[in-house]
A and B are shown apart, each in its own frame.
Chain A
Amino acid sequence: MEGKKINRNGNLYTFIYATVLVVLVATLLALCATGLKPRQQQNIEAEAKQQILNTIGIQTTADEAQAAFERYVGERYAVSRSGAVNQQADAFYLNLKSELAKSEHEQQLPVFQATMPDGQRKYIVPVRGNGLWGEIWGYVALNDDLSTIYGIVFDHESETPGLGAEITAPAFCKQFEGKTIFEGAQLTSVAVVKGGAHPDDPHAVDAISGGTITSNGVQDMLQRSLERYSAYFSSIREQQARAAMAADTLAAADSLLQPAIEPGAMSNQH
């Protein structure tokens, strides 16, 4: 190609040169991209699995995430906005973002059910919203009562390091543990309060100082995302309440000698 006689300004030369270059470069890139694709995909999946496992307090490396995920998170299905369960769908491969772009009655929302080593059941749902600079998302693990938060993780696209980006810090996420998202039958979600939440408030945590907009984003994201599941959550909670009530009535009938159930007991079952 060290051509001394070729006219480097000729149309034909320019055209052939451009074509050869484009074809070469495109082939090279296609090879590179397809070769690395499985690994990239694996990275993305491993990260999501690690995050889901994190919500139930299990820390794994990217390599072990797959096995651990299969072990703990056995049931994965989708629910609709009205609470109907679709067992056919694998929640892990549902893309929440593209589901949310669909119309409300077509949305399939992912639900993960994890079984803890001690046999307890946790429900894990993904949440998604907007922070200051870009998207934020995360996973919320709920206890069997579908109200108490067992664990939570957040991640973000491009929040300010040291400020909004602190939503991923364990110190921030830890606050959510033990908070409840239902008050009676009413969904309250969890508020993120600037200037500090009252420590006894079961529905509020402290915001990040200097990260007000990201904190508000988290609050919004939880409120909206959990609301989408509220029909499903409520239906299970009602079933549980009925079962509990039935058990209570049975127990009451069984032990005729015992005094009547005190009035508060029923709502404590929630």
Chain B
Amino acid sequence: MDSIVQIFFDSMFIKNMVFSYFLGMCSYLAVSKTVKTATGLGIAVVFVMGITVPVNYLLNRYVLSEGALAWLSPDFAGMDLGFLSFIIFIAVIASIVQLVEMVVEKFAPALYSSLGIFLPLIAVNCAILGASLFMQKADYQTLGQATAYGLGSGLGWFVAIVCIAAIREKMKYSDVPKPLRGLGIAFLLTGLLGFAFMAFTGFKL
């Protein structure tokens, strides 16, 4: 299994949520008109992914996967609750988002006023659920690896949205064909950025 650093780097650049899996595209396109809001949403995503992926990792490891309940009693060794993964993961994400919202509101009102509006958006951001599902598929051995994956994916998403927002800000001064303005050019740009990120493919630290 790869080292934590490698997993972090991989998930941030190579297996980038936006450029190679197109996850979280809805909010990615909707909130990338200015760098400021993009940064806000990006940070919120890093935050939530960094928490939900390790939590879901523990749940997957000790509750959901086949034979995972063996620690409770040997009788449960044959149980496979895998079919509950989707529900549990999404419930965990929704409740953690709510929890984070409350905690941030109470202890960091300044942060809340800048992040607050984005947090509810995040529960239905596919990138967050995607990170948990990919984590489950990748079968990481330790909590550290899973955390590295969660943080890396979140940062990858952050980089992607800030990148596109910066470009879109500059795009205002460009003469884009009328029918392509807005959404169309954003798609093309994301595609081109995706090709650029493919240069990282196979990069080993």
Contacts and interface: CB of A to CB of B under 8 A. Distances in A.
19 contacts: A25-B87, A26-B84, A26-B87, A29-B83, A29-B84, A29-B87, A30-B83, A32-B83, A33-B82, A33-B83, A101-B141, A132-B201, A132-B202, A133-B15, A134-B137, A134-B138, A157-B137, A213-B201, A213-B202
B85 to A, nearest CB: 11
5 tightest Cβ-Cβ pairs between the two chains A and B: A33-B83, A213-B202, A29-B83, A29-B84, A132-B202
A192 to B, nearest CB: 15
A212 interface: yes
A134 B137 CA distance: 9
Contacts of A212: 202
B145 to A, nearest CB: 14
Contacts, number: 20
Interface string A119-154: 000000000000011100000000000000000000
Contacts of B137: 134, 157
Chain A's interface size range is 10 to 19
A133 B141 CA distance: 17
A262 to B, nearest CB: 49
A214 to B, nearest CB: 10
Interface of A: 25-26, 29-30, 32-33, 101, 132-134, 157, 212-213
Contacts of B202: 132, 212-213
Given A33-B83, A157-B137, 12 more contacts: A25-B87, A26-B87, A29-B83, A29-B84, A29-B87, A30-B83, A32-B83, A132-B202, A133-B15, A134-B137, A212-B202, A213-B202
A188 B144 CA distance: 36
A212 B87 CA distance: 38
A13 to B, nearest CB: 19
Nearest to B138: A134
A33 B138 CA distance: 22
Contacts of A26: 84, 87
B139 to A, nearest CB: 8
Nearest to B15: A133
B53 to A, nearest CB: 17
